[in-house]
A and B are shown apart, each in its own frame.
Chain A
Amino acid sequence: MQIYANLTIRQKHIIWAWAFLALPVLFYGIIRFYPTGNAFLISFQDWNLLGKRTWTGWDNYIKLWNDPVFWKVFKNTFAYLLIGTPISLFLSFLIAYHLDKLRFMHGFLRMLYFLPFMTSAVAMAWVWRWFYQGVPIGLFNNMLASIGIPQIEFLNSTTNALPAVLAPAVWAGLGFQVIIFMAGLRAIPTSYYEAAKIDGVGWFTILTQITIPLLRPTIVFIVVFSSIGFLRIFDHVFNMTTNNPGGPLNATKPLVLMIYDTAFNGFDMGYASAQTVVLFLILLVVSLIQLRLLRSD
């Protein structure tokens, strides 16, 4: 007690701050950082969860480099990112831009767009999975068949399956992005628009010279947010392809699903950890690039 009494106020503040911080630090240390560190360690080992861990050095990474499935999955993961992010960005901006101008039933429409975001991804994936089925149960194919158009293989196709799985994922994320965009639009001072109006500028110039440049922080946020989401896509793919996870012929398999499969079907924890480390590095690089873009603002 004597020691405590002799401390300066500043030192006491620090001690108290750490006392309160101890809990989250401990929590993060044990729940987050310890397993993360462990994953790095396991990625250099061979472990089936049951037996002993044996040190294998870079074997898992070499195996990964030589695994054609990994490169297919790597490509898919970036396909989700590169198709999903621009489309959802464009759609959500389009919706937000027009919704912002609309007064009639504004709240109701906003709610409709936001609803899918609140829906469980699992339930949504299953409903869409059934939409995509062939005749006689699939909604889309039944509609096509009733007007005499040949059926489309949505999920049982190596070319259509990835976009088909991506569509509900984009749709589900749209609501959130619309809300963020609308907040961004509202934050632009009306004086700019008034000035533009006085100058007699057309809508296209207003859009490209005022609205979009001033939305930059919002756009960067949404891009970062949705990129990470698409890089980690799992639940939509897994639930829409449970019979043949990531199929057909790995056409829809993202990295996270490959990790899951290696770890909990193959029980090859070392290999799964190596994949996890790679995913971590991808996310790190993508986030760093995007952070850099943010900072140059």
Chain B
Amino acid sequence: MLEKWNGLVLASVTSAAALFASSADAVEIEYWQYFFDARVTAMEQLIESFEAANPDITVKMTHFPYADYRTKVAAAIPAGEGPDVVQLFYGWLNDYIAAELIQPLPADVFDPATIDAEFFPMVQAMKGDGAYYALPTAVRSLALFYNERLFDEAGIESPPETLDEFIEVAKKLTKKDGAGNITQVGITTGMTAQDHHWFREGLVRQFGGEPYLDDYHTVNYNSDAGMEALKFYTDLEKVHEVTASGFMDEPQAAFKAGRAGMHIDGSFRIGSLNGVRGLKWGVTELPATSDGVRSNYSSYWVNGITTKAEGEKYDAAVKFMQYITSDDAMQVWLDVVGELPAKPSVGLTESNANDPTYGPFIRGLAYAHTTKFANESAQRQVLVDLVARTDIEGQPLEDSLAVAVAEEQKILDDYYD
């Protein structure tokens, strides 16, 4: 009985396999990314034109909600069930390389020297042992969003250029009720959102510091610059009273609701702000210091070839990788998703760099740094707690900074040892 049953199962499996195989002689490769409407649409367009150019290859895209993405990818790839080409956050890549789940890109097609020259410099974080392991289609950076209606109302003519102007403008935009409760913030703050990036790679560097040493293995913001950056940041609430942490729950919610004059966020926010009725917003580069020093943070998602892809699938995967990191693909990604091209040749074209919306972000890429995180959420938590200790428990800034540095160093040590 059991044998008969086995035979039946085997027969149906093989016939099903034959059915699928006979539909095309094409090589099918699988591509995974997380679900975000515009990203899926953009990738569908790219796959369509890729398949038109390479009729012998079909690409099957699978996507998951963002919340499950990292876990599913991490569970599927080691089990050999996963994709041939996968999209990963740059910060996850080290773990995948260490576990030998990602193959280095072939140097004859992806020449490291050419990539060094052609891509924005922060992409070099994806290089190891003389080869690139993965490449982004698009990158992200931070900029200062501002509410044009509130600017007009407060009689502010142009967005702030320097950190001093930034505080002055924020003061004009802040509103309080009779009891002194803030009802409209000049600038949103919250280390839980993008501010921890602004602090690390923006403010600390602008005040003359170097946030990390030894390729991000050593925490280094326990310096005068770190202290100044922290003071600047916490003074916004404590001295200048132009913000309240946790105002309206989330910084982006306050900005969307028109209750915040300014808001620092990533280029990925553009899409969701475009849909907000009644919100007239503009965007400008992050404020510089009075002597013109600027700094920015950049992050990106990369595409890599998993070790599952072998033989003809590997060749197809390489071709697909080549296509999705091409200039054309980057322009599609910018137009559809609103994410910035990873190459200056595409990003810094006349029309892209001067675009009123994308321009400030693209210009920011030129002076952007990419933090190499060991555990992004834990490292973010360190900075959240750094400010919370001073805010809730009244701990002096110096002490709180020292605790934070020790905590973050411990995370790095545990990870790299």
Residues of A within 8 A of B391 (CB): 156
The answer to whether A243 and B74 touch (CB under 8 A), given A130-B249, A135-B181, A267-B95, is: no
State whether B388 touches A150 (Cβ < 8 A): no
B401 in the interface (beta carbon within 8 A): no
Contact mask for chain A residues 105-146; partner B; CB cutoff 8 A; 1 contact, 0 none: 000000000000000000000000110011111000000010
CB distance from A97 to the nearest CB of B (A): 39
**Once bound together, how far apart are the Cα atoms of A201 and B103, in whole Å?**
84
Complex: A130 Cα to B253 Cα, angstroms: 12
Complex Cα gap A151–B244 (Å): 13
Inter-chain contact B177/A249, CB cutoff 8 Å: no
B95 and A51 within 8 A (CB): yes
Determine whether A205 belongs to the interface, using a CB cutoff of 8 Å to chain B.
no
Partner of B101, one of A50, A134, A150, A151: A50
Further contacts, 5 of them, CB under 8 A, given A49-B74, A243-B193: A49-B75, A133-B248, A150-B179, A247-B381, A266-B375
**Candidates B75, B96, B388; contact of A249 at CB < 8 Å:** B388
A50 to B250, CA, bound (A): 33
For residue B389, CB closer than 8 A to chain A, the reply is yes
Number of interface residues of A (CB under 8 A): 31
User: Are B259 and A158 in contact, with the CB atoms below 8 A?
Assistant: no
Whether a CB of chain B sits under 8 angstroms from the CB of A48 is: yes
Binding site for A on B (CB under 8 A): 70-71, 74-75, 77-78, 95-96, 98-99, 101, 177, 179, 181-183, 190, 192-193, 244-250, 259, 375, 377-378, 381, 384-385, 388-389, 391-393
- Cβ A248 vs Cβ B392 within 8 A: yes
Instruction: Write out, one digit per residue, whether chain A residues 256-293 have a CB within 8 A of any chain B CB (1) or not (0).
Output: 00000100111100000000000000000000000000
Neighbour of A247 across the interface among B193, B248, B259, B388, CB < 8 A: B388
A261 nearest in chain B by CB position: B377
CA distance A205 to B170 in the complex (A): 66
CB <8 Å contact, A137 and B96: no
* A residues in contact with B96, CB < 8 Å: 50
Contacts of B384 in A (CB 8 A): 244, 247-248
Given the known interface contacts A50-B96, A135-B183, the answer about A243 and B250 at a Cβ–Cβ threshold of 8 Å is yes
* A148 close to chain B: CB less than 8 A: yes
User: B181 near A145 (CB under 8 angstroms)?
Assistant: yes
B249 touching A265, Cβ below 8 Å: no
- Closest-by-CB residue of B relative to A48 is B95
